A = this chain, B = another copy of it.
Amino acid sequence: MRSTSSHEAVPATTPAASLVFTTVLSHGPLTRTEIARRTMLSSAAVTKAVRPLMEVGYLVEDLNDGARSALGRPANPVRVNAGRAFFIGVKVTGDEIIAVLADLCCRIRVARHIRLTHREPEAVLPSMTSLVHELLLEAEGFGVQVRGLGIAVSGDVDRADGVVRYSPFLDWRDVPLAGIAETATGLPVTVDNDVRALTVAEQWFGAGVGLSDFALVTVGAGIGCGLVVHGQVVSGAHGVAGEIGHLSIDPLGPPCHCGNNGCVEAIAADPAILRAVRKVTGRAVTTAAEALELARSGDPGVREIYARAGEAIGRAIGAVVNLLGPERVIISGEGLAAYDLFAEGIRNAFAASAFGTAAECDVMTRPLSFEEWARGAAATAIQSFIGSDTD
């Protein structure tokens, strides 16, 4: 395990302080009494935890107390000072690096991206480093210090060691990315799987706030799934988890690169849809946008392909819900652009496959800009910075 403790002081020193800070971070401005209620701490403990955090500027009093309560001394809400620290999040894909500068509340301040021509670590790392340096310069312009760098990579990533064990898209094996990036940038680095990073962002700053069990399903070039169980992101004993894309839905379905037939990814991921659209229409459709346009223009064959894809996704979600019984499933990803075409299939297939009360699970969608992946990486950096674990 790498030592990240050699870096600057983290805002939360005691468990209680960490708990208080993450609570305020996720649940917006809160009065001290409210914090005490949520964290199950005494109000005295909250005061003691808040003070040092305010002294170093991570928390500030929220003076905007428009709605005065009826009686008694007015409450003094506290919120996180978003501009107190910045973080950089980087998402590395096979042909692009996306980087964002995010504040302490994980709001994107600046976004940059560059295309990649080569995928070897030796080619990617310098590009990444220069992109990070650009953003460091931007941060300097804001007069805010960057306190951490998060890097999201698809595949089998060991966050504890900061090593990319195997990334199929990048064709990387056992790359000690955190160590390399740390020496190149001088920042504390957190490396994590891309879907898990996105899940962390949802857990702390998105639709997963306050939930101890939820799933995030990403639809796009691949089908991924991030899981939060008992308030913690699931990583899997062997680095693999949430591999919803290779749930085999139909033994007679199209072959998947994993060797099986009818995997969700072989039916509902962008490449699979494009392949099917080409086959049905005979046209050389190469982008998801083109396929989408064909479907929207009313082509029944193409619409059917999307309907099937929606069904596959719905069944996959049903499997997750039956197995884990999460409170909520968040559907996201670039593929969400076609959600109107998926929706019915997802809804019906989910309703059919969800067993008993599991059907009560709230299935929602959440649009995802391409920068969001990098924001997820920033969220992991914030998480490491605070040095705590769960909600």
Contacts and interface: CB of A to CB of B under 8 A. Distances in A.
Give the residue among A236, A246, A248, A327 with the most B Cβ atoms within 10 A: A236
Contact of A322 (B239, B244, B326): B244
B358 A236 contact: yes
A353 interface: yes
Interface stretch (A37-45, A181-189, A223-231): A223-231
Nearest to A238: B357
Contact of A324 (B156, B227, B258, B259): B227
B156 A234 contact: no
B258 A227 contact: no
Contacts of A250: 250-251
B361 A237 contact: yes
Given A166-B356, A260-B352, A236 B324 contact: yes
A320 interface: yes
A358 B258 CA distance: 13
Given A229-B230, A236-B358, A248 B325 contact: no
A323 interface: yes
Interface in A347-391: 352-353, 355-358, 360-361
A229 B234 contact: yes
Nearest to A250: B251
Nearest to A390: B230
B325 A239 contact: yes
A5 to B, nearest CB: 17
A234 B356 contact: no
A32 interface: no
B326 A237 contact: yes
A211 to B, nearest CB: 8
Contacts of A290: none
A213 interface: yes
A324 B233 CA distance: 10
Most chain B CB atoms below 10 A, which of A156, A251, A323 = A323
A327 B237 contact: yes
A355 to B, nearest CB: 5
A69 B12 CA distance: 44
A80 to B, nearest CB: 27
A192 to B, nearest CB: 15
A360 B156 CA distance: 14
A285 interface: no
Contacts of A325: 234-241
A315 interface: yes
Contact of A240 (B244, B259, B358): B358
Given A234-B229, A352-B259, A356-B156, A240 B327 contact: no
- 5 closest A-B pairs (Cβ-Cβ)? A236-B325, A243-B322, A237-B327, A240-B358, A238-B357
Given A234-B324, A324-B324, 9 more contacts: A213-B237, A235-B325, A236-B326, A238-B327, A238-B357, A239-B357, A241-B324, A243-B355, A246-B355
